[in-house]
Structure 1
Amino acid sequence: MGSRVQSVPERIVRIARRTLLTVFGVQLALAVGMSLVDSYRRRGKKPKPFPVTPPRTVSVGDSTLRTYTYGRDLYADMLAAIDGAQRQILFETYIWKGDEIGERFKAALAAAADRGVEVYCIYDSFANLVVSPRFKRFPSNMKVLRYPLYPAGWRFFDVARYGRDHRKILVVDDHEGFVGGYNIGSAYETEWRDTHVRITGPAVWDLKRAFADFWNLNRRRRIRASERPLLLETASTWEPVIRFHRNVPKLWMFPIRSVYLEAIARSSVRVWMTQAYFTPDQDFADAMKAAARRGVDVRLLVPLKSNHIVADWISRGYFSQLLDAGVRIFRFRDAMVHAKTLTVDGTWSTVGTANIDRLSLQGNYEINVEVFDEAFAQTLEEIFAVDQGNSLELTSAEWEARDLHRKFTEATLAPLRPLL
């Protein structure tokens, strides 16, 4: 039998398929290679000191908010809160390292459970793959939800079930809660610049609801005490100037992106944003550009070098258009800045866990607190000013003069934006 002669359309499809696979292979190989080289270069490097802003407390409505920009200060207050718990602890984190700091938190939570405190813990299995299995064994009197490595189950076709639990929450009794960008680990204690807030007063009740809703939505439907529904008795009072916004992929709820966009659209004086990983969609970038073009002082502060080099290169693809529109870009030196904050016009602010990228804004479980208060906005602006003083401003001339191979790398990696 003679071989069948391929038609022109079949040949076109075959060539197109091979071309796409080749392009994707080049992108993947480049990303993997860059990550390996970056990891090798980081080995043995000692962390450098960086300026921080001391904790500061302001009254907001009937609540108080205390800001943290240094992990050691934050961890001291979190551990003190755990040690002082009398009735209940709700603890949730994305990364929980099995190092000295991770062990301190684990021991404090176990001690609280031993003295009769209800202790609920949630952590993400994927984010802690490299953590020792020994560390992940907890006393039976602690109720622990391990958000699964593969959360979709048999519903592999349901993309809403693939989001990771990227939230960081601690609530102790009814009187204090913590939320922000800090994970739990020794490196974050002294080597990373992040932002977290401690909240007291009525606003804590909404943070408790956020934890309970996640627990009840994702717990396994079994009878074991550690997996029973978490029922809370919280007041129905609303704190009108402090609001929590949650991305819940399982329910197709993604309000945090809208919160950012609305605040930027309403700005008239200044928009100061700090982001660990900045990979916006084009509409988000357009909102920042439109604000700058109408005279708003738009500033973006990102790491000079983050812990994810591929994310750095992909984010740079937006720099040209932002700089051309008048957005000022600052790159933080000597440490990884992991904060996710925005303050607008000296009156509105947000702090939380959501990065400006697809994974945070359209994929993961996230939580941000929105605050309508001038004193709190002023605090965040002062933090931004300190960070800006430790940053290098990127100019349009400097950016356009970068090497050709850098432009090529940015263009090659650009199609990976929807994946990050």
Structure 2
Amino acid sequence: MRDYILIAIGIFLLVNTILAVITVFKESRPVTSIWAWLLVLNLLPGIGFIIYYFVGRKISQKNIFHLQTQEVYGMQGLIKSHTDENHRQTNIGGYSHSTQQMMTLLFRSDFSILTQRNDVKIYTDGKEKFADLLKDIENAKEFIHIQYYIFNNDEVGGPILKALERKAREGVEVRFLYDAVGGRKLKKRHLKPLEEAGGRTASFFSKSPFWIVNFRLNFRNHRKIVAIDGQVGYVGGFNVAKEYIGKGDLGYWRDTHLRIQGDAVKTLESRFLMDWYATRKEKVKNFEREYFPEPVHRGNTAMQIVSSGPDEDKDQIKMGYAKMISMAKDHVYIQTPYFIPDEAMYSAVIMAIVSGVDMHIMIPPKPDHPFVYRATEYFVKQMEQLGAKIHRYDKGFLHAKTIMVDGKYASVGTANMDVRSFALNFEVNAFIYDDELVSQLEAIYHRDMEDSTLLTAEYFNNQSRWKKFRQEFSRLFSPIL
């Protein structure tokens, strides 16, 4: 009897191994991801396939966004006025050759048009950001389009929902989009007053009672976008919940968000509409006059709004990050809650360090996802050994996703420096070309350094063997975290 059991186990393991190879290789994916999934499927026979079903499968190659940027009617005028007959941007001639290359990369990969007349306000504290957002909602006259990954009906989200309800009753068009997983605490009863007032709501990738068994569970809409009357836009790291004003388990919350006025609001609006129509599957109408008016207030900041997601293989934001870092001549400042680079980003950061660029990386003091945080510790330790300066922000939880290069270039948005943001999440970032604004962001980084601890080789060497083991073990799964 024992022999039969051993034979059965052997056959099961053999079949599991064969199926693991077939399963992983049937979809195109990076080599590191292949090995990571083979490890999971073989270390956890049977169970590994259940995990893979929910978080390992690639999204359908069918484009879920049936509305594209170049098809958004209100964007056509902006695109035509800034491109020639060969679809090349015509408003980048005054920039350096390397900057033009950066702008062209983002335009060709994501159709991210450069807008030059924007006024930008930076937020690092949630209370100020949400106070201004409420004021802008109250001042809305035509439409409010709002999208967040996490939105809770608490002391932060509740007042916003009530304000949206009031505006909807006044006749203002309100569209409210949230992620099914990030917004899982948001119940139908919370949204009912807004819908009864005339507002429309939608949940990205299902909000049915069975959302947990949706194989697209692993692909989340991590974007945070607000567009109001075509005049004001918001983008950045803050979600909508009390944690983001420092009233959660992680304490003070340090994030970075932008309020934008100018032509870039049109590109935020187009991104929202693409996400909305991918979710609601409504008939697209000609909305040029309604959603894309000329800005009343403009500034002098040039920027490109870039989005990326698992529906494409281009990894647009990741390419933007890598290009920025490769352009560095003096310094790079990176703030991210998760530093888990793939091979391309790992190489870009290493090349910059070895080339003599002063590399600074700032991470949180504690994890909100322990497994991910241990992998972050592993990778920043490798960077420190090569010469990077690693800062641990001690005042609270650091959630900002910012990169600043040489006082000339910056990126602020929703994408973390990790594989999930590059390959699995739908993200959106503002890439900024403005010395004054970039200097403000770098000054904020320097202020954050005053509340940080520099992690030296001694710090990493003195960690316990158990912590070092967890870091080494976690990084094995970094391609699929």
- Give the TM-score of the pair, scaled to structure 1: 0.81
Residues in 1 aligned to 2:303 and 2:450: alpha-carbon distance in whole angstroms: 29
The answer to whether the aligner puts 1:305 opposite 2:366 as a matched pair is yes
Offset of residue 14 of structure 1: 7.5
Residue 264 (str. 1) matches residue 325 (str. 2): yes
CA deviation profile, 1:66-90 (whole Å, cap 9, x unmatched): 0000000000110000000000111
Aligned CA distance change for structure 1 residues 15 and 182 (closer, same or farther; 3 Å): closer
Which of 157, 167, 192 does residue 223 from structure 2 map onto? 167
Structure 2 Cα separation of the partners of residues 118 and 398 of structure 1: 54
Task: Select which of 205, 211, 216 maps to 2:272.
Answer: 211
Q: Is 1:411 aligned to residue 467 of structure 2?
A: no
The separation in 1 between residues aligned to 2:267 and 2:316, in whole angstroms, is 16
Per mean C-alpha deviation after superposition, the further-off stretch among 398-407 and 176-185 is: 398-407
**Residue number in structure 2 paired with 1:283:** 344
3-state SS, counterpart of residue 127 of structure 1: coil
| Counterpart position of 2:203 | 146
SS of equivalent to 1:167: coil
Deviation at 1:241, TM superposition (A): 2.2
Which residue identity lines up with residue 316 of structure 1 in the other structure?
E
Shift of 1:236: 9.4
Q: What's 1:101 paired with?
A: 156
CA distance in 2, matches of 1:101, 1:333: 24
- Corresponding position of 1:13: 14
Q: Distance in 2 between matches of 1:72 and 1:386?
A: 19
Q: Distance in 1 between matches of 2:134 and 2:403?
A: 27
Give a deviation string over 1:249-274, Cα, whole Å, max 9, x none.
33445300000000001110110010
2:242 is matched with which residue?
186
Runs of 5+ consecutive residues of structure 2 not aligned to the other structure = 21-37, 49-114, 247-251
What's the offset of the Cα at 1:232? 3.9
Question: Helix, strand or coil for the counterpart of 1:241?
Answer: strand
**Superposition TM-score, scaled by structure 2 size:** 0.71
Say whether the 8 Å CA contact 1:212–1:230 is kept in structure 2: no
- 1:14-29 equivalence runs, <5 A: 23-24=43-44
Are residues 1:79 and 2:134 paired? yes
Aligned residues: 378
Is the 2:309–2:423 contact (alpha carbons within 8 Å) kept by the matching residues of 1?
A: no
| CA apart distance, 1:6 | 5.8
Change (3 A) 1:3 1:308: closer
Distance of aligned partners of 1:229 and 1:182 in 2 relative to their CA distance in 1, 3 Å threshold: farther
Supply the AA of the counterpart residue of 2:234.
F
Matching residue of 1:254: 315
Q: Give, as a single letter, the amino acid of the residue that structure 2 aligns with 1:397.
A: E
In the TM superposition, what is the alpha-carbon distance from 1:373 to its structure 2 partner?
A: 0.8
Cα deviation 1:130-152 (Å, max 9, x = unaligned): 3444224332310111113489x
Preserved CA contact (<8 Å) 1:216 1:229? no
Q: Secondary structure at the match of 2:474?
A: helix
- Quickly say closer, same or farther: Cα 1:85–1:289, change in 2 above 3 A: same
Q: Tell me the percent identity.
A: 27
- Contact preservation (8 Å) 1:216, 1:230: no
- Give the secondary structure class of the aligned counterpart of 1:250: coil
Q: Say if 1:271 and 1:344, in contact at 8 Å, map to a contact too.
A: yes
Amino acid at match of 2:395: D
Q: Report what 1:398 is aligned to.
A: 459
Do the aligned residues in 2 keep the contact of 1:212 with 1:231 (CA within 8 Å)? no
Displacement after TM superposition at 1:397 (Å): 2.4
For residues 207 and 474 of structure 2, the distance between their equivalents in structure 1, rounded to whole angstroms, comes to 27
Other-structure match for 2:393: 332
Aligned to 1:373: 434
Asked if 1 retains the 8 angstrom alpha-carbon contact of 2:120 and 2:260, the reply is: yes
Q: Secondary structure at the match of 1:135?
A: helix
- For the pair 1:128 / 2:189, whether they are aligned, the reply is no
Distance 1:81 1:294, change over 3 A: same
Q: Kindly tell me: are residues 75 and 247 of structure 1, through their superposed partners in 2, closer, same or farther at Cα, counting changes over 3 Å?
A: same
CA distance in 1, matches of 2:139, 2:372: 40
| Contact 1:193 1:338 survives alignment (8 Å) | yes
State the partner residue of 2:117: 62
Equivalence for 1:231:
287
Listed one character per residue, the Cα deviations across residues 340-386 of structure 1 (whole Å, up to 9, x for unaligned) are 00000100001000011122111111100001110011000011011
Cα deviation for residue 229 of structure 1 reads: 5.4
Runs of 4+ in structure 1 displaced over 6 angstroms?
Answer: 2-5, 14-22, 156-159, 235-240
1:107 aligns to what SS in structure 2?
Answer: helix
More displaced stretch, 14-23 vs 176-185 = 14-23
SS of equivalent residue, structure 1 residue 128: coil
CA 1:19/1:111 → structure 2, altered by over 3 Å: closer, same or farther? Answer: closer
